[in-house]
C-alpha cells in the first residue's frame, strides 16, 4: 500500500486521478479541488504509465499505480481504435476511455501497428494487415 504522506489520500483515489489524467480530463485535488500538477513517469519495462500528482495547496499527493495487463484487445476493438486514430488523430481504450498511444508504420514489406494504453497496460503490437 502507499506510504503515509502529510496530506494523505488513498491509493484508490490516486488511481482514480490517474485514470482521469489518461482520459485527458482536468485533474483536481480530492481534498481542496485545486487543479493538480501531473507528471507522467513512463519507464521502459511497463506499458501503463504511473502519474505523480502535486497539489498547489497540499504538496505531493503521491503516484498512481495503474495495472499493467499487457494483454491485447480483441481484433475488432483494435480495428476500431486504428480507424479512429486515422480519422481523428486520437483513439481511446474501450475499457477505460484513456487516450491510447498509436504507432503505425507502413512500407513495401508490410505494415506494423502498435497500440498501447497508459491506463490499463493493454497492448497490441506486430504486423498489421489493413482489411481491403
Task: Figure out which of the listed residues 9, 78, 120, 123 binds Zn ion, where binding follows CB under 5 A.
Answer: 120
Which span sits near Zn ion by CB under 5 A: 10-18, 39-47, 76-84, 95-103? 95-103
Q: Measured between alpha carbons, how far is 71 from 114 in angstroms, rounded to an integer?
A: 13
C-alpha cell at 93: 481504450
Task: Give the DSSP H/E element, type plus range, for residue 125.
Answer: strand 123-127
How many residues lie near Zn ion (CB under 5 A)?
14
Verify binding: residue 60, Zn ion, rule CB under 5 A: no
DSSP label at residue 41: -
Give the DSSP H/E element, type plus range, for residue 114: strand 110-116
Nearest to Zn ion of 20, 119 (CB atom): 119
Q: Does residue 116 bind Zn ion (CB under 5 A)?
A: no
Is residue 36 within 8 A of residue 55, CB to CB? The reply is yes
Is 123 a binder of Zn ion (CB under 5 A)?
no
| Smallest gap from residue 55 Cβ to Zn ion (A) | 3
55 binding Zn ion? (CB under 5 A):
yes
Cα three-residue angle 40-44-49, rounded to 5 degrees: 30
For Zn ion, the binding residues (CB under 5 A) are 29, 31-32, 34, 55, 57-58, 93, 95-96, 98, 117, 119-120
Amino acid at each position: 500500500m502507499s506510504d503515509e504522506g502529510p496530506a494523505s489520500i488513498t491509493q484508490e483515489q490516486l488511481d482514480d486521478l490517474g485514470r482521469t489524467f489518461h482520459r485527458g480530463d482536468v485533474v483536481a485535488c480530492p481534498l481542496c479541488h485545486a487543479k493538480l500538477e501531473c507528471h507522467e513517469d513512463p519507464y521502459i519495462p511497463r506499458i501503463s504509465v504511473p502519474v505523480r500528482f502535486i497539489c498547489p495547496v497540499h504538496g505531493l499527493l503521491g503516484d498512481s499505480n495503474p495495472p499493467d495487463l499487457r494483454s491485447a484487445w480483441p481484433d475488432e476493438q483494435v480495428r476500431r481504435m486504428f480507424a479512429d486514430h486515422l480519422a481523428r488523430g486520437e483513439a481511446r481504450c474501450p475499457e477505460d476511455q484513456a487516450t491510447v498511444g498509436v504507432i503505425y508504420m507502413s512500407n513495401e514489406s508490410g505494415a506494423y501497428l502498435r497500440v498501447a494504453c497508459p491506463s490499463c497496460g493493454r497492448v497490441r503490437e506486430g504486423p498489421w494487415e489493413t482489411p481491403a
